[in-house]
Structure 1
């Protein structure tokens, strides 16, 4: 890249991207867009994947709806004329294989003459590394660096020192949520199964180490259930009886609109929602870890 460029970024495919000025008009895959929104970069619009419909999935929206970000529908069928009218400076997608953007054909960005950033969300990176990469992209696009200094809250009595609480969305807030989850997981010892319902007769059972966030839960002491041998790198597909045979104490069920809820198929297990496309931001994962801690403790 030329030293005269005002913006440059190397994505997780190893593609060096640059522009004459810092991109301001961002269009993103919904998961990436929700993360950027948390990190201080509000996209002008987001698009979905092949799982998504014409309406933004509430499980995926994060702060996008509150920020009045336009949803364009599934990425593979986007109206290129509309995209051109939106005048994007950059497109941000994710990649699971380190080679191709997940939800948008790269040729679309090439025809628009717009750089396309693809950041990895696959298991070749740890969750902390994924969060770091999205944070670095956000800063390159003009966001403020993450606040590490806790905010002081009023003291309970005149003699007591101020109580420091982590700034919302900060790495410190995420660490506090992880610490709380670690403590609860050590006490509960619950067996936790993550799954995605695929109808009344079929369910996809997550292989914990194939998912960066599930691998992180295991590091924090959550006792995750492995579905056992069989085909599938990320999921083992079976019926609901197979899921019940694993005897989970708590089930993380896929809460996305296209997935089927357990609806009594796993009686006796606690249920808590899980979005396998949680926005890669400290704020989003702090919320998820706190919710799981509450479910384990409840």
Structure 2
């Protein structure tokens, strides 16, 4: 996919994380646009001192005289850094639900203490960001053009002038690659990667990967479908670009893969189906997008959904199309799928 095309689809708000969905409208309705005050003191617990340099996945190298402490990051990135001991207090992206609780992408962070510059798609309080005087902005990128995730197209140039940015690519690679890059980023910011908790989290991830590989090998005929729900459409994700699905597929999981022709309208990410046609693909296990911008399985009222063999058999599990890139948070994703395969019956 060309850079221009990748950028086109991303900026239209297809929210291609994990081949998910075109839910710009749903995201806009999710949460509060207003930035929340959380203070603007030192925002990282980095122990490193002196000059800082980091080359990101766009090939951009940021060099600062000191290790950045006033970090602003996409919520999921901040959550990953938090797991490694780097506390980021300035965030943008899904952080709080309408009820004020932590969004799934906020991980273990205390969202009441975060300064949120924009909680929904296309919202970013540039004035407050400028007043915060950030050292660096950190996000992910879901395309080959290096577009910063959740940085609005309309204000990206203003935002870029206020602080340098760095990005971890979560496009067209297996999960282990961005996990490794996040590890390197956290280490550069002063995280203690020899801490027992950190070392054990990586070991648990590796054990979970081995378990999933074994489960997939034992159940090669079990078909897994990665889906996402909106009011009008059901989305079937392809595995070509998504870091989680690419990795699970490499471990041997047998996925439903929509044909390329069916995915053309979304640049190869996913196929959109009407609810009348939700049974187009036979599946034994369904993984459903767990983000707050989507309709969750318990809330799907469509009769066609309820008649799916996997649904009737109770073989539906959650999927995190935008994984928090720490080993601690990615391990359960492997374990949950492994358990689902171990228990799954052939129903399609």
Q: Give the TM interval when normalised to the shorter protein.
A: 0.7 to 0.9
| Runs of 4+ with >4 A deviation | 52-57
Unaligned runs of at least 5 residues, structure 1:
152-165
Deviation track 1:35-85 (CA, whole Å, cap 9, x = no partner) reads 211222111121116xx8795762212112379444332374322332234
Q: Which residue does 1:155 correspond to in 2?
A: none
The 8 Å contact of residues 227 and 288 in structure 2, kept in 1 or not, is answered as yes
- Higher RCO (CA < 8 A, seq sep 6+): 2
Match of 1:33, SS state, is helix
Summarize the Cα distance change of 1:12–1:56 in structure 2 as closer, same or farther, 3 Å threshold: farther
Pairing 1:162-241 to 2, within 5 Å after superposition: 167-169=199-201, 171-189=202-220, 190-199=222-231, 201-228=232-259, 229-230=261-262, 231=264, 232=266, 233-241=268-276
Q: Which residue does 1:268 correspond to in 2?
A: 309
The 8 Å contact of residues 225 and 255 in structure 2, kept in 1 or not, is answered as yes
Distance 1:10 1:21 in 2: 16
The answer on 1:102 being equivalent to 2:149 is yes
- Return the match for 1:88 from 130, 134, 153: 134
Pairing 1:141-180 to 2, within 5 Å after superposition: 141-145=189-193, 167-169=199-201, 171-180=202-211
Q: How many Å apart are 1:254 and its aligned residue?
A: 0.7
The 8 Å contact of residues 106 and 116 in structure 1, kept in 2 or not, is answered as no
The 8 Å contact of residues 28 and 91 in structure 1, kept in 2 or not, is answered as yes
What is the TM-score when the length of structure 1 is the normalising length? 0.82
Match of 1:226, SS state, is coil
The answer on 1:74 being equivalent to 2:74 is no
Distance 1:78 1:54 in 2: 20
The 8 Å contact of residues 54 and 74 in structure 1, kept in 2 or not, is answered as no
The answer on 1:14 being equivalent to 2:46 is no
Unaligned runs of at least 5 residues, structure 2:
1-49, 344-348
Summarize the Cα distance change of 1:146–1:197 in structure 2 as closer, same or farther, 3 Å threshold: farther
Size of the aligned set, in residue pairs, is 272
Q: How many Å apart are 1:121 and its aligned residue?
A: 0.8
Question: Which one has a larger percent helix, Structure 1 or Structure 2?
Answer: 2
Deviation track 1:205-244 (CA, whole Å, cap 9, x = no partner) reads 1011221210110111211111224123111111234442
Match of 2:252, SS state, is coil
Q: How many Å apart are 1:11 and its aligned residue?
A: 1.5
Q: Which residue does 1:279 correspond to in 2?
A: 324
Summarize the Cα distance change of 1:68–1:186 in structure 2 as closer, same or farther, 3 Å threshold: farther
Question: Which one has a larger percent strand, Structure 1 or Structure 2?
Answer: 1
